Amino acid sequence: METNWTEIASELKFSIKNYESLTKQIVQTMNRATAYGIDSSSLDIIKGKAGKDGKVRMQGLESIKGVASRKIARILKDFPIWTEWLENVPGIGPAIGGTLVSLYYFKSIPLCTKCGADLEDFKCLICKTEAKGLGVLKFRIELREFSTISSWWHFMGRHVDSNGKMPKRASGVTSDWSNTGRKIGFDIKESFNKLPSAHKYKAYAEKRKRYRELTHPDATKGHRHNMAWNEAVKLFLSHFWQVDHVLSGAEMTDPWCVKFGGHDKSSIIPPYYFNGNNGN
């Protein structure tokens, strides 16, 4: 990675936040229009407005959102995992890809507004100042590293708790997994699910649905659907980890199912849409 990675990381995070804000603004505007009985598909604030000559007189939010998406895509050109793989995966656009890259490679640590030390749970480790309610904080950025696929799954909220289920947030308890990571997993699922069955990750999810009909015949159709797609998202995330390690030349540790679960290495599914494994 380039030596100016701190600048790249900051610009990527900033651009993603702008994109998310625009998306939220569009949804809120359309909801307000619906509440007042207005056809949101023709709103100038969303679609923009052109004169009789066809020239743009006013940019709409959708157009500005497109600019924000292309900005993220330009930043992602600095990351081999985007140019060599993610960009070629149908359903993974700049917004999802940028969020994944930001989560995987960079960690933002909030700083105390008084003494500049690190904050932990919004409390300064040095001067004990409480940061809650102080407004916008400053951050320093560190490189993040996941030594195993399991640690990457855990960070993304795709692990299982002591009850054998995906964990949920609890009031007053700081989670050791990323809420943003959990959400982007659902975004990936929704994006893949809209694509034809020929899409490799959707085909995998449909295969797992049929399997879950055998293993969980009493479960509801919706439950089996969620189970299958959770497995598909975890497969995609494991492929993200594998591709990163191939491109960086890092040590490729065996996944838990091989190391401890008794599975053979031949059961490992190579990353889809990646030329590094002959384009499978």
**26-56: pLDDT as tens digits:** 999 999 988 999 888 778 888 877 666 556 5
Q: Residue 56: what pLDDT?
A: 56
Q: Are residues 73 and 152 in the same domain?
A: no
Parallel, antiparallel or unpaired: strands 56-58 and 106-111:
unpaired
Q: Are residues 97 and 186 in the same domain?
A: no
Give the start-end residues of each E strand in the chain.
49-50, 56-58, 106-111, 119-120, 123-124, 138-143
The helix/strand/coil state of 56 is strand
Residue 136 domain flag: no
- Distance, in Å, from the CA atom of 71 to the CA atom of 23, rounded to the nearest integer, reads 15
Q: Are residues 96 and 193 in the same domain?
A: no
132 pLDDT above the threshold of 90: no
The parent domain of residue 35 ranges over 1-102
Residue 140 domain flag: no
Residue 138 domain flag: no
List Cβ neighbours of 120 (8 Å cut-off, separation of 6 or more): none
Q: Are residues 158 and 70 in the same domain?
A: no
Q: Are residues 210 and 93 in the same domain?
A: no
Q: Are residues 58 and 184 in the same domain?
A: no
Residue 278 domain flag: yes
Mean pLDDT of 142-168: 91
Q: Residue 31: what pLDDT?
A: 92
pTM equals 0.87
Q: When comparing pLDDT for 114 and 27, which is higher?
A: 27
Q: Are residues 1 and 95 in the same domain?
A: yes
Q: Are residues 155 and 43 in the same domain?
A: no
Number of domains composing the chain: 2
Q: Are residues 51 and 155 in the same domain?
A: no
94 pLDDT above the threshold of 60: yes
83 pLDDT above the threshold of 80: yes
